[in-house]
Amino acid sequence: FINMGTFFPTRVEYNDYMRWSADQFKEHVHYGQEVIAIEPVEQGGEVEWVRVRSRNADGSEQEIFTRNLVIGIGGYPKIPAVFAGKMGENMVHSSRYKHEYERFARHETPRIAVIGAGQSAAEIYLDLMDQYPDGKMDLVSRSRALHPADDSAFVNEIFDPAFTDTIYARPESERQDFLKRFSQTNYAVVDLAEIEQIYERLYLQKVTGKMQHRFLSNRDIVGVQNDGTRVLLTLRNKDTGVEQTEVYDGVVLATGYNRNGHEQLLSPMADWMSEKDVERCYRLPMASGCHANVFLQGCCEETHGLSDTLLSILAVRSQEVVDALIERQSRPLE
């Protein structure tokens, strides 16, 4: 690995590492259970416990009671409005790509559109070109170009653990401004290596005259028709307004994630939650009389900054939650 001269482990190696990590504590994990609600357990007008309701793979439900809960459920697919109700077997969100790309194999030379301009879109676009060498792949994007991810040294300091204090202390408007100014570290950007690979492949098409794949940039998707076999996308050029309709056997939506799934799960707790921002230690502020602790992980970007959805300071964040728990346990109840 050292001889490769890179800081980037391959996805394959990283996947191995994650599997190894997960194996270390598998006896503590209940796989195949979907949490469907988090409810207050009220006794004498106070809440000491929450009830976590979950559904097993066979549809049966179960409950766990706890005083302390950490919610770290990641993101769920963001599907643009124009695709709502149009999803089918021939469309997949990037989060399921690895499990489902073989579906496209029922066509000998599949025509596939990848929607997006971020890292997932770029990696999937390249992977599809390799998986289906005779297929036709289009990368469709609103933006005019693929922009490089900024991981330069000074910018990268926003991912230092200490930066969380800095950002948390700022007023909301400043935090929003910060998220916008530094979004090119993580959102709608691509590592330079993949940008160069894509550019080279498209350039070589020009040299050889074999025009197989396209980058349809600066296009809004204004219409989607899906008859279950073919998908018709109507694309509008953002400069000229000219529309074109393209036909695909499959579409991959690399359109990102929403990170507010906890709101739905916590809706039964609404009466016991305060409106205030999540605390620095990631605890949700509760109304008086609620002594149960609920911590959020991975969905506090607006208050804790851009490292929040990432792995960069995960160990430090976990320690902060543990410290907060110990501190609260050793304090008399309010």
Ligand X SMILES: Cc1cc2nc3c(=O)[nH]c(=O)nc-3n(C[C@H](O)[C@H](O)[C@H](O)COP(=O)(O)OP(=O)(O)OC[C@H]3O[C@@H](n4cnc5c(N)ncnc54)[C@H](O)[C@@H]3O)c2cc1C
Name the minimum Å distance from CB 247 to ligand X: 28
Angle at 26 between CA 24 and CA 32, to 5 degrees: 150
Give the whole-angstrom CA distance, residue 299 versus residue 233: 33
Residues 308, 187 contacting (CB under 8 angstroms): no
Q: 10 Å Cβ neighbour count for 68?
A: 16
Angle at 297 between CA 295 and CA 301, to 5 degrees: 115
305: nearest Cα among 169, 150, 148: 169
Stretch that binds ligand X, among 72-80, 131-139, 223-231, 245-253 (CB under 6 A): 72-80
> Per rule CB under 6 A, is residue 64 in the interface with ligand X?
no
Residues 135, 162 contacting (CB under 8 angstroms): no
Give the whole-angstrom CA distance, residue 134 versus residue 110: 8
> Per rule CB under 6 A, is residue 9 in the interface with ligand X?
no
Q: Which is nearer to ligand X, 249 or 282 (CB)?
A: 282
Give me the 238-267 binding string for ligand X, x by CB under 6 A, dash otherwise. -----------------------x------
Indicate the residue type of 18: M
Q: Which is nearer to ligand X, 62 or 109 (CB)?
A: 62
Burial readout 167-187 (b: 16 or more C-beta within 10 A, e: otherwise): bbeeeeeebeebbeebeebbb
Stretch that binds ligand X, among 99-107, 174-182, 266-274, 307-315 (CB under 6 A): 307-315
Give the whole-angstrom CA distance, residue 195 versus residue 1: 23
Per CB under 6 A, the list member of 40, 110, 135, 298 interacting with ligand X is: 298
Q: Which is nearer to ligand X, 217 or 312 (CB)?
A: 312
Q: Which is nearer to ligand X, 89 or 263 (CB)?
A: 263
The enclosing H or E element of 61 equals: strand 61-66
Phi/psi for 233 (5° steps) reads: -110, 130
Q: Which is nearer to ligand X, 8 or 203 (CB)?
A: 8
Q: Which is nearer to ligand X, 226 or 297 (CB)?
A: 297
Return the SS3 of 2.
helix
> Per rule CB under 6 A, is residue 32 in the interface with ligand X?
no
Give me the 114-133 binding string for ligand X, x by CB under 6 A, dash otherwise. ------x-------------
Stretch that binds ligand X, among 70-78, 100-108, 217-225, 244-252 (CB under 6 A): 70-78
SS3 content of the chain, % helix, strand, coil (to 5): 40, 25, 35
> Per rule CB under 6 A, is residue 72 in the interface with ligand X?
yes
Name the minimum Å distance from CB 48 to ligand X: 23
Q: Which is nearer to ligand X, 1 or 332 (CB)?
A: 1
> Per rule CB under 6 A, is residue 35 in the interface with ligand X?
yes
Q: Which is nearer to ligand X, 145 or 311 (CB)?
A: 311
> Per rule CB under 6 A, is residue 218 in the interface with ligand X?
no
Q: 10 Å Cβ neighbour count for 89?
A: 12
Give the whole-angstrom CA distance, residue 47 versus residue 292: 7
> Per rule CB under 6 A, is residue 268 in the interface with ligand X?
no
Name the minimum Å distance from CB 297 to ligand X: 6
Per CB under 6 A, the list member of 64, 73, 79, 179 interacting with ligand X is: 73
Q: Which is nearer to ligand X, 18 or 270 (CB)?
A: 18
Per CB under 6 A, the list member of 64, 126, 216, 310 interacting with ligand X is: 310
Note the residues at the interface with ligand X (CB under 6 A).
Answer: 34-35, 72-74, 120, 261, 297-298, 310-312
